[in-house]
Chains A and B, each alone.
Chain A
Amino acid sequence: MAWTSAVLACAAALAGCQQKAAPVAVDRDYQKVLIERLLDAKPGDVIDIPAGTFAFDRSLSLRVDGVTLRGAGMDKTVLSFRNQKSGAEGLLVNASDFTIENLAIEDSKGDGLKVNEGENITIRGVRVEWTRGPHTDNGAYGLYPVQTKNVLIEDCVVIGASDAGVYVGQSETIIVRRNRAERNVAGIEIENSKFADVYGNTAIDNTGGILVFDMPNLPRRGHSTRVFGNRVVGNNTDNFARKGAAVASVPAGSGIVLNSADKVEIFDNDIGDNKTANVIISSYWSTGYMNKYGVSKDYDPYPEEVYVHGNRFQGGGDSPDGLDLKALRVAMFGLSGRLPDVLWDGFANAKRSQGPQICVEGASGVLNADGPNKYKSPSMAGDAMRCSLPRLPQVSLPTTGVAATAKVAPAA
């Protein structure tokens, strides 16, 4: 078995070399053709982009409903923005009933694909990659639907985003499944969104694997995200985000991270070898942004109603990022010890009668870092967090009939 995978790895490496050695003809004249097709598109149109590598020096945009943009495959049809001079993304879409599939967007200066408002958005088999690998100057987001409704992102690959590979923001009714996110700062991030199912994805070698965040000062708050059946392993890449970005506060070695998010269910995932912690539950207090002038007063910075159960954990917590966490590990667990699977910063809303309702079953433990008391007395959260919460509803997309199938694994 091991031998087989070694052979496969070699073959893959060879293929990679051959691919690089082969001269790639870059078509520079296609830009005008595609821009005009996007301008002239009518609802119902399918714009087929042939196999090949096409160079663009400005961003593309689509503003017509009901258009499908289709390539010949994520490794065959490549839209390259390496020499981009203007525009903040590779492709900007402001339209509903939009489908994009089977192509790649490479090296855009800003975001790869941004969909700003719209309903019924399908992103399928799209690769967004910054080909030099992790770098602070890479574009921020790979796939970035924001203020959208009924979103399906499936079978995509996102590599090298300096913020988040897949980033769904201020949206509702979302399915993110079977994607691969690697070597991004955040692999997959759901932010200020409600009713999201994130399942069957692979998040490896990011700084943080899968994130569920809620940020202040936005008209839309998020809740009800299910993260299940994912593989979230070895997310230990050094954080290469620009300081000041929300994800810049994510320590390297984070598996699944919740920040200020409510109603989140994390189950049936394989989570392992994330060196800081396999799961981090934190509040906005821990981001470094909390201040009384710039955060609206009605914002709730605390994560609440979080249910972690039935996951398979392995390793992790053995080499946390940052001096404070390193010291915490040694102080609490000795030189060869490790932080438990779940790390909680300890901030909770004292006015909430039910408490934070953070329930963890089947993990090696929960460390309360005691943030509110300047981390003076960290402790293992014991029975208080051994509880269960009602399951969250399954998300289904009305137009496509796509629904997540949740299987509940026995507790590890």
Chain B
Amino acid sequence: MKWSVLSGVAVRAATLITLSALVLPIVGCGKASAPSPAPVSFHAQGQPARLSDWHVLVADGGHLRLNAGVEPYALNTALFSDYAHKLRTIWMPPGTKAKYDATEAFDFPVGTIISKTFYYPRAAGDSDAVLRAPTQPGESRDGLDLTRMRLIETRLLVRRQDGWVALPYVWNAEQTDAVLARAGDSVPLEMRVADGRPAHRFDYQVPDANQCAGCHATDNSTRAIQPIGPRARHLNRDDPWHPGDNQLTRMAALGRLDGLPASGIARNARLDDAAAPLADRARAYLDVNCGHCHSPRGPADTSGLWLDAGTQDPIRLGRCKPPIAAGQGTGDHTFDIVPGKPEDSILVYRMDSLDPGAMMPEVGRATVDEEGVALVRDWIRDWVGQCSGAGDAGASRPVNTALRP
């Protein structure tokens, strides 16, 4: 007990020292009247029952703030999750740094805590309804105003000695704390759209801890959990909280990232960047939404369809590729991507479906990402060619329709 108190003080002191070198985080300045929160607390083992046990985020029902030393970050193009907004943070023990990797997640030190808070703007009126609004709102530098935001869940990825663990926490109605929900949860939501369309009701699914691993175990053989977002190509962008600063160079300048090369860093396009080429935006979208499974080593390598950023072979990307074990997910279509014909492509069908037996991704959404599907449709519409030509060996041979029902 004594030790932990002491180490807490030590950590806090170290944090303050480090912070003097940091650009101020979004935690409010000029809030001197508020009592200082306890420092971030890394639990080397166990499963703390409450999010507040970690002291990463501090909520009092009116505001959600980031504790000292907790740094927010943003991705170029992020995973779609039922139009939820996400506040992402990283905390590393003082004096430690992450190691750069060109393609995979950075190697973070033991003690790192990554948080992702899912929230929605509240719809007007007294109800609990939420608003479907653009995916990249500028969060206030003063944290989140909880009178205007509805918190759903906060997922923690914690780097322990043995590797990463995933812990999902669900927020209480008062928005003062979130409770561990290892078995997941289901949150009924009413989502309204500003343009007056009828409200959409669905059950927001909080994943259980194993389902977290379903996406975060990006190598299906080792089964080790990895962060997905903190990769160079996702982070390589302007820092929304520090305009003019690149997130990666800033991280390196603050001494939190080792090995950042001077040039040649990959960069995914931003979904909301109208100036970026269509193909770049579509590939960025597929990379972050699908590539963690659909890669040469991911759980969906069984399908032979690879959608990660590094894949270039058109067959691997699905061009005229027959599905493998898609079952009812084919939607009566023959190929993953039919050039120029999104309406005939399995890829679009599965993104557009809400049937758990057909939809992709398999978990993490209960609504259709209309903009995302439209983007992939546009991208496929741009593909030139057709699938109907037979192969070289059978150029004059039709398919055997006699053997088809």
A and B are partners in one complex rather than unrelated chains: yes
Contact (Cβ within 8 A) A322 B327:
no
Q: How far is the CB of B19 from chain A (nearest CB, A)?
A: 36
* Cβ A139 vs Cβ B328 within 8 A: yes
- Determine chain A's interface SS by DSSP, over half rule: loop
Interfacial chain A residues near B183, Cβ < 8 Å: 31-32, 35-36, 39
For residue B217, CB closer than 8 A to chain A, the reply is yes
* B329 contact set on A, CB distance < 8 A: 140, 242
Chain B, residue nearest A61 (CB): B210
| B340 interfacial by beta-carbon distance below 8 Å | no
Q: Does A136 contact B (CB under 8 A)?
A: yes
| Cβ of B182 under 8 Å from chain A | yes
A109 touches B314 (CB 8 A): no
Question: Which has the most chain A C-beta neighbours within 10 Å: B211, B327, B394?
Answer: B327
Establish whether residues B405 and A321, one from each chain, have CB atoms under 8 Å apart when the complex forms.
yes
Q: Which of B186, B322, B336, B394 contacts A246 (CB 8 A)?
A: B322
* B403 at interface by CB-CB < 8 Å: yes
With beta carbons under 8 angstroms apart, the residue of A39, A57, A372, A375 that contacts B182 is A39
Task: Count residues on chain A whose CB falls below 8 Å from chain B CBs.
Answer: 85
User: Which A residues are in CB contact (< 8 Å) with B328?
Assistant: 110, 136-140, 162-163, 241-242, 245
A287 to B323, CA, bound (A): 12
Chain A residues near B403: list those with CB within 8 A. 249, 251, 280, 282, 286-287, 322, 325, 345, 369
Give Cα A59–Cα B364 distance, bound, in whole angstroms: 12
Task: Report chain B residues within 8 Å CB of A347.
Answer: 394, 397
In the complex with contacts A289-B334, A295-B391, A215-B399 CB distance below 8 A: no
Q: Is the CB of A290 within 8 A of B327?
A: no
| Known contacts A63-B213, A217-B304, A372-B394: A245-B327 contact under CB 8 Å | yes
Give CA–CA (A246, B405) in the complex, Å: 12
Q: C-beta contact mask, B276-298 vs A, less than 8 Å → 1, else 0?
A: 00000000000000000000000
B324 touches A217 (CB 8 A): yes
Tell me whether A354 is interfacial, beta carbon within 8 Å.
no
Q: Which residues of A contact B316 (CB under 8 A)?
A: 217
Chain A contacts with B in 201-259, Cβ cutoff 8 A: 215-219, 238-239, 241-246, 248-252
| Chain A residue, CB-CB nearest to B323 | A244
Which stretch from B28-36, B155-163, B381-389 is at the chain A interface? B381-389
Listed from nearest, the 10 A-B pairs whose CB atoms lie closest are A140-B327, A294-B320, A244-B330, A324-B402, A286-B400, A88-B362, A110-B357, A293-B320, A289-B322, A109-B356
Extra contacts besides A244-B330, A251-B404 (16): CB < 8 Å: A35-B210, A39-B209, A88-B363, A110-B357, A116-B302, A140-B325, A162-B327, A218-B324, A244-B335, A246-B323, A285-B394, A287-B399, A288-B400, A290-B399, A295-B321, A371-B397
19 CB-based A-B contacts, threshold 8 Å: A61-B210, A61-B214, A63-B217, A86-B363, A87-B211, A87-B362, A88-B359, A88-B363, A109-B357, A110-B362, A163-B327, A169-B324, A243-B333, A285-B394, A287-B399, A292-B392, A295-B391, A322-B403, A375-B402
